[in-house]
């Protein structure tokens, strides 16, 4: 990077390696008197895969909603490449816990309509090709003309995943995306996700922020794992770095000392330090 680019704030807003992809600073989220999040601070760097883990109700979905722009902090700011997020945008796509499919549209149309909205750079043929690819990837191509109501919970979740994968946003926000899936499908989609995320270049997914309850999934996929404290007044308890080389081999990983140490540490945090005694 040239000195001029560093000195020119406009030029450096996008290009500087010193600008976080996401800059979450002093974020509080209150609902009336109820404080869901209290003083959350986190920088996520371009290219990072970050997971968020913590007990139920600690504000994980709230944090994702703030990044998506569907919700706003009561205090503090969330910035994307140096610009404050004021609403949803085509640079971010979210896979919700509850699928959020449009029930009056077919499986296929749920994907193509999302592309029409988010990828104005694509023509109809490109949208069709991208939809075909995403639906095949999640194994729903044979079901493409069905309505969501005719699908199982796991199938609906896969439509939501196909929609986000097809859009290929700069930042992909995932709220327990694989929770409803069987182990084989889950593993396959985790690997598809990694394949898309690690794609180099201007297009494609640069950052993934994923809420999960699954410790193994968090370690397998992430560069860093954010452990939230319990709510109310939830904040970041600890950020763990997953210092394991990529590509990672699922079967070799489980006997790797770094993996075992991380897993033991997370079990201790979630099971003892942050235990909820329910």
Ligand X SMILES: Nc1ncnc2c1ncn2[C@@H]1O[C@H](COP(=O)(O)OP(=O)(O)OP(=O)(O)O)[C@@H](O)[C@H]1O
Site residues for ligand X per CB under 6 A: 31, 34, 36, 54, 56-62, 231
Give whichever of 57 and 154 is closer to ligand X, judged by the CB atom.
57
Give whichever of 146 and 186 is closer to ligand X, judged by the CB atom.
186
Residue 249 Cβ vs ligand X, minimum distance, rounded to whole Å: 29
Question: Any idea what DSSP says for residue 195?
Answer: H
Give whichever of 46 and 57 is closer to ligand X, judged by the CB atom.
57
Q: Kindly give the pairing relationship between strand 92-95 and strand 207-211.
A: unpaired
Residue 4 Cβ vs ligand X, minimum distance, rounded to whole Å: 43
Residue 26 Cβ vs ligand X, minimum distance, rounded to whole Å: 18
Of the candidates 166, 130, 171, the residue with the CA atom closest to the CA atom of residue 46: 171
Reported as type and span, the H/E element at residue 216 is helix 215-221
Measure the CA–CA gap between 59 and 235, rounded to whole angstroms. 9
Strands (E), the chain: 22-31, 34-44, 49-53, 75-80, 83-84, 92-95, 171-175, 207-211, 224-228, 236-241
Give whichever of 61 and 131 is closer to ligand X, judged by the CB atom.
61
Handedness of CA 113, 119, 125, 129 (dihedral sign): negative
Give whichever of 29 and 127 is closer to ligand X, judged by the CB atom.
29
Residue 257 Cβ vs ligand X, minimum distance, rounded to whole Å: 30
Crossing angle for the helix pair 153-167 and 107-118, nearest 10 degrees?
Answer: 30
Give whichever of 57 and 187 is closer to ligand X, judged by the CB atom.
57
Q: Which two tokens stand for residue 67?
A: 């990044």
Give whichever of 61 and 106 is closer to ligand X, judged by the CB atom.
61
Q: Is the CB of residue 204 less than 8 Å from the CB of residue 173? A: no
Residue 31 Cβ vs ligand X, minimum distance, rounded to whole Å: 3
Find residue 171's DSSP bridge partners.
92, 207
DSSP 68-111: HTSS--SEEEEEETTEE--S--TTEEEE-TT----TTS-HHHHH
Residue 52 Cβ vs ligand X, minimum distance, rounded to whole Å: 8
Residue 228 Cβ vs ligand X, minimum distance, rounded to whole Å: 7
Give whichever of 186 and 213 is closer to ligand X, judged by the CB atom.
213
Residue 195 Cβ vs ligand X, minimum distance, rounded to whole Å: 27
| Phi, psi (deg, nearest 5) at residue 33 | -85, -10
């Amino acid at each position: 990077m040239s000195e001029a680019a560093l000195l020119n704030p406009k030029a450096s807003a996008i290009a500087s390696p010193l600008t976080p992809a996401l800059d979450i600073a002093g974020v509080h989220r209150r609902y009336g008197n109820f404080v869901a999040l209290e003083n959350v601070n986190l920088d996520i760097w371009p290219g990072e895969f970050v997971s968020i883990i913590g007990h139920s109700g600690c504000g994980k979905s709230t944090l994702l909603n703030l990044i998506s722009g569907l919700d706003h902090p009561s205090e503090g700011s969330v910035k994307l490449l140096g610009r404050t997020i004021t609403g949803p945008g085509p640079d971010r796509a979210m896979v919700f816990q509850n699928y959020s499919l449009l029930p009056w549209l077919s499986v296929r149309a749920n994907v193509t309509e999302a592309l029409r909205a988010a990828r104005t750079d694509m023509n109809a043929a490109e949208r069709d090709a991208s939809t075909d690819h995403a639906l095949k990837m999640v194994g729903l191509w044979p079901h493409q003309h069905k309505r969501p109501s005719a699908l199982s919970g796991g199938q609906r979740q896969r439509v939501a995943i196909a929609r986000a994968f097809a859009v290929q946003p700069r930042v992909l926000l995932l709220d327990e995306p694989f929770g409803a899936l069987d182990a084989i499908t889950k593993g396959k989609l985790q690997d598809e996700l990694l394949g898309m995320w690690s794609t180099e270049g201007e297009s494609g997914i640069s950052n993934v922020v994923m809420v999960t309850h699954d410790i193994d999934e968090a370690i397998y996929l992430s560069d860093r794992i954010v452990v939230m404290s319990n709510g109310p007044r939830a904040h970041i308890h600890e950020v763990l770095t997953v210092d394991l080389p990529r590509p990672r081999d699922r079967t070799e990983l489980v006997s790797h000392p770094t993996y075992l140490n991380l897993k033991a540490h997370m079990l201790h945090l979630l099971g003892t330090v942050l235990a909820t005694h329910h």
